[in-house]
């Protein structure tokens, strides 16, 4: 089995972000393409990274296959990714090889695959009435601006407006994105005035992938998980779910 | 018999000038100190205990709680260290190999130190290290007695392919006391041949606590979660220790409240409260609260793995009162907690009940330190994605 994708940077940022709060990821390939899924030990956050088959430079698989990757080791390997690197993956029953290639010089890193019981990733059923679309770097700036203030991220929304808020003993910080100012590319709000809070760290973990995403779509609803969809080059997508806090 | 020495300035704990005869003979507990100043050019050398009968006790933190801190400090400050300069990579030199022999022994070793006649080195009291007695310059060293090595120590010492991390875990699983593993790491006796190095004693103490607790936490995460709230409360040596074990995934916090007049708040007028915590994935940065963090984490992880056999969310809290005004090292936290976990815990069905009970226990009002605790103020507030799972079609 071997697959090749043209931009290793996306993999690097996603794996390194996931390694901050997850132990392992499940990588599945089938006729549709690739899916990488993982959930954190406290079952608060879930990631689902997908790349359609046609977006790969090379996609040679002998049928559906799922392997479990230890994130601690894979995260270290992916840290060596350089700008303009391509990434190829080869695997068999016991090991996986990451190949990074730049200017015709491939670098090989082989890791043993995890053989423990495969983690179960739940299928979520969410009806989220409020959707906001913006450039990835705008959301990145928003999170960076308020993350130091408190450990809770409050998301609120109204017609044409999304508010990220945080407060603590230190004070209060608020970032407002609006369609009027042009930062929000789209805002479809079914339930104006909704308000929901999440652990700030779960958004901080994802800052790097958010920063390099072409766009970010955030769906939220009172008392419901947040769904953040990041779109990268060649239709690679990261869906990220975070459970709400019970305040 | 050790030859006599004289402390000219009797203002304890800072006798400033110590005159020694050229040769000192006596038992090393065993104990070898590696300094951290001027790293990688450090100082290293053995120490001699004042008496033969209980020599091993002089450098064996696992049994110090039983002897009282006053007695312990006197005992530790009576030890004499002979130190010489070394580069951390000199582990294969004849002089360091001799020191390794001493440090790895599981019984006191009689040694003869030839030292400079005059030494001007004060005793040292730090947060991480047990108190260190006076130190002088070592000119030559002779091992006069027999060295006795335990099997597991001997095995890892001669296995020059085994990585230091693996050696530390192997020794721990073979029930070698933590303090002996720390000594072995410090004198460069562990690890693959090319990378063996001397490790300053204070760093080795923290490194061993960290490596062992990480391994234990891996095992904790494989256990079933605790299904009730357990509370351990222990008081002693002007310290109050509280351990709250809660149902939930591994999360850990260590908090200390230093009262004015205690060792690390001598000049202050208010109680100084500090804490550090980690989630299920552990930390990537050194906790600002220092080595106690790792010592306490080791004690509780050990209890979860070997005692309760349950995974839990853990909050440890310590109040340090006025009477505890001399730092004695992180061993105190580790051993106090290990002893505390041998006691029977109080059981509660909610965290609120735990908080209510503690209102009568802590001197700092419970609301204050509770609010400062990341784990306590957030406990129970994180919901699970499993609440939003897709229902299977029938």
Pick the last residue of a domain from B212, B231, B247. B212
Same domain, A159 and A75: no
Asked whether the beta carbons of residue A243 and residue B378 sit closer than 8 angstroms, the reply is no
Minimal C-alpha gap between A242 and chain B (Å):
7
Pick the last residue of a domain from B164, B181, B212. B212
Strand partners, B253: B277, B315
Same domain, A98 and A138: no
Residue B383: its chain A contacts at CB < 8 A? 44, 243-246
Domains held by chain A: number: 2
- Please report the pLDDT score of residue B331 as a whole number: 94
Same domain, B15 and B136: yes
**Distance between CA B146 and CA B128 in Å, rounded?**
31
Same domain, A136 and A97: no
In a domain, A42, yes or no: yes
B385 touches chain A (CB under 8 A): yes
Residue B374: its chain A contacts at CB < 8 A? 151
Q: Measuring CA to CA, which residue among B215, B291, B297 is closest to residue B252?
A: B297
Same domain, B338 and B199: no
- Please report the pLDDT score of residue B16 as a whole number: 33
Same domain, B247 and B166: no
Same domain, A107 and A165: no
In a domain, A239, yes or no: no
Same domain, B153 and B10: yes
pLDDT in tens, A17-27: 999 999 899 99
pLDDT in tens, A186-241: 999 999 999 999 999 999 999 999 999 999 999 999 999 999 999 999 999 999 99
- Please report the pLDDT score of residue B284 as a whole number: 84
Higher pLDDT, B281 or B246: B246
Higher pLDDT, B122 or B268: B268
- Please report the pLDDT score of residue B73 as a whole number: 87
In a domain, A122, yes or no: no
Residue B372: its chain A contacts at CB < 8 A? none
At B117, the pLDDT band (50, 70, 90 cuts) reads low
B391 touches chain A (CB under 8 A): yes
- The pair phi, psi for residue A204, each rounded to 5°, is -65, -40
Same domain, A147 and A82: no
Residue B368: its chain A contacts at CB < 8 A? none
Which member of B249, B388, B389 has the closest CB to residue A42?
A: B249
**Distance between CA B135 and CA B153 in Å, rounded?**
28
Same domain, A135 and A56: no
At B120, the pLDDT band (50, 70, 90 cuts) reads low
Which member of A23, A201, A245 has the closest CB to residue B383?
A: A245
Domain range enclosing A179: 130-227
In a domain, A117, yes or no: no
Structure tokens at A173: 């910080």
CATH of the domain at A171: 3.10.150.10
Same domain, B201 and B303: no
Same domain, A148 and A185: yes
Same domain, B183 and B279: no
- Please report the pLDDT score of residue B7 as a whole number: 36
Which member of A45, A125, A246 has the closest CB to residue B391?
A: A125
Domains held by chain B: number: 2
Is there a contact between B379 and B248 (Cβ–Cβ < 8 Å)?
Answer: yes
Helix (H, G, I), strand (E, B) or coil at B319: strand
Range of lowest pLDDT (A20-34, A113-127, B82-96): A113-127
Residue A225: its chain B contacts at CB < 8 A? 385, 388
Same domain, B345 and B302: yes
Same domain, B111 and B161: yes
Backbone CA torsion sign across B255, B261, B266, B271: positive
Same domain, A58 and A142: no
Minimal C-alpha gap between A24 and chain B (Å):
11
Asked whether the beta carbons of residue A243 and residue B248 sit closer than 8 angstroms, the reply is no
Q: Measuring CA to CA, which residue among B161, B146, B162, B164 is closest to residue B107?
A: B146
Higher pLDDT, B78 or A29: A29
- Give the number of C-alpha atoms closer than 13 A to the C-alpha of residue B271, restricted to the C-beta side: 18
DSSP labels, A70-103: EHHHHHHHHTT--TT-EEEEEE-SSEEEEEEEET
The pLDDT mean for chain B works out to 89
Q: Measuring CA to CA, which residue among A22, A17, A23, A25 is closest to residue A50?
A: A25
In a domain, A175, yes or no: yes
To test the contact with chain B by mutation, choose from A20, A43, A151, A170 the residue with the greatest count of B C-beta atoms within 10 A, namely A43
- Give the number of C-alpha atoms closer than 13 A to the C-alpha of residue B294, restricted to the C-beta side: 26
- Please report the pLDDT score of residue B20 as a whole number: 54
Same domain, B176 and B93: yes
Pick the last residue of a domain from B212, B247, B263. B212
In a domain, A242, yes or no: no
Asked whether the beta carbons of residue B380 and residue A246 sit closer than 8 angstroms, the reply is yes
Minimal C-alpha gap between A60 and chain B (Å):
32
Same domain, B190 and B225: no
Domain range enclosing B276: 221-393
Residue B221: its chain A contacts at CB < 8 A? 41
């Amino acid at each position: 089995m071997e697959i090749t994708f043209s931009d290793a940077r996306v993999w690097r940022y996603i794996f390194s972000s996931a390694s901050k709060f997850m132990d392992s990821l499940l990588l599945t390939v089938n006729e549709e393409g690739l899916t990488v899924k993982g959930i954190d030990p406290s079952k608060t956050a879930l990631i689902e990274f997908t790349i359609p088959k046609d977006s790969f430079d090379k996609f040679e698989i002998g049928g559906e296959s799922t392997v479990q990757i230890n994130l601690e080791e894979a995260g270290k390997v992916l840290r060596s990714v350089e700008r303009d690197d391509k990434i190829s993956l080869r695997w068999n029953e016991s090991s996986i090889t990451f190949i990074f290639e730049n200017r015709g010089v491939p670098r090989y890193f082989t890791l043993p695959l995890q053989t423990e019981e495969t983690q179960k990733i739940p299928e979520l059923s969410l009806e989220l009435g409020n959707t906001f679309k913006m450039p990835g770097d705008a959301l990145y700036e928003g999170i960076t601006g308020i993350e130091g203030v408190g450990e809770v991220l409050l998301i609120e929304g109204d017609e044409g407006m999304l508010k990220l808020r945080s407060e603590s003993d230190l004070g209060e910080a608020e970032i407002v994105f609006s369609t009027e100012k042009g930062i929000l590319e789209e805002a479809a709000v079914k339930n104006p005035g909704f308000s929901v809070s999440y652990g700030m760290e779960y958004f901080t973990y994802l800052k790097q992938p958010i920063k390099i995403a072409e766009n970010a779509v955030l769906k939220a609803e009172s008392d419901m998980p947040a769904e953040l969809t990041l779109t990268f080059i060649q239709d690679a997508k990261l869906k990220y779910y975070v459970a709400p806090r019970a305040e | 018999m050790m030859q006599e020495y004289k402390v000219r300035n009797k203002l304890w704990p800072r006798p400033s000038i110590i005159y020694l005869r050229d040769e000192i003979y006596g038992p090393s507990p065993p104990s070898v100190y590696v300094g951290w100043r001027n790293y990688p050019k450090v100082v290293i050398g053995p120490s001699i205990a004042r008496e033969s009968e209980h020599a091993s006790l002089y450098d064996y933190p696992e049994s110090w709680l039983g002897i009282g801190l006053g007695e312990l400090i006197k005992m530790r400050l009576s030890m004499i260290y002979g130190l010489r300069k070394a580069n951390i990579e000199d582990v294969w030199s004849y002089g360091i190999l001799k020191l390794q022999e001493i440090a790895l022994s599981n019984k006191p070793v009689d040694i003869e130190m030839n030292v400079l006649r005059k030494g001007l080195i004060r005793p040292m009291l730090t947060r991480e290290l047990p108190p260190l007695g006076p130190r002088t310059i070592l000119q030559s060293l002779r091992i006069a007695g027999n060295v006795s090595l335990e099997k597991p120590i001997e095995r890892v010492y001669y296995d020059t392919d085994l990585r230091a991390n693996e050696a530390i875990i192997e020794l721990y699983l073979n029930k070698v006391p933590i303090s002996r593993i720390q000594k072995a790491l410090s004198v460069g006796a562990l690890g693959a041949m090319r990378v063996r190095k001397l490790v300053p004693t204070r760093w080795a103490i923290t490194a061993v606590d960290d490596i062992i607790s990480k391994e234990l936490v891996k095992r904790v995460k494989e256990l079933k979660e605790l299904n009730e709230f357990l509370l351990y409360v222990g008081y002693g040596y002007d310290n109050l220790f509280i351990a709250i074990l809660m149902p939930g995934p591994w999360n850990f916090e260590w908090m200390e409240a230093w009262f004015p007049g205690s060792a690390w708040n001598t000049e202050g007028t208010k109680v100084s409260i500090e804490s550090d915590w980690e989630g299920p994935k552990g930390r990537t940065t050194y906790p600002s609260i220092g080595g106690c963090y790792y010592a306490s984490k080791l004690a509780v992880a050990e209890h979860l793995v070997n005692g309760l056999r349950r995974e839990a969310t853990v909050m440890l809290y310590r109040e340090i009162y006025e009477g505890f005004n001399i730092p004695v090292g992180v061993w105190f936290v580790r051993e106090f907690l290990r002893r505390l976990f041998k006691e029977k815990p109080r059981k509660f069905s909610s965290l609120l009940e735990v908080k209510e009970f503690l209102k009568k226990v802590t001197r700092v009002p419970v609301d204050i330190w509770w609010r400062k605790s990341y784990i306590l103020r957030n406990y129970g507030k994180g919901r699970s994605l499993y609440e939003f799972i897709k229902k299977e079609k029938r």
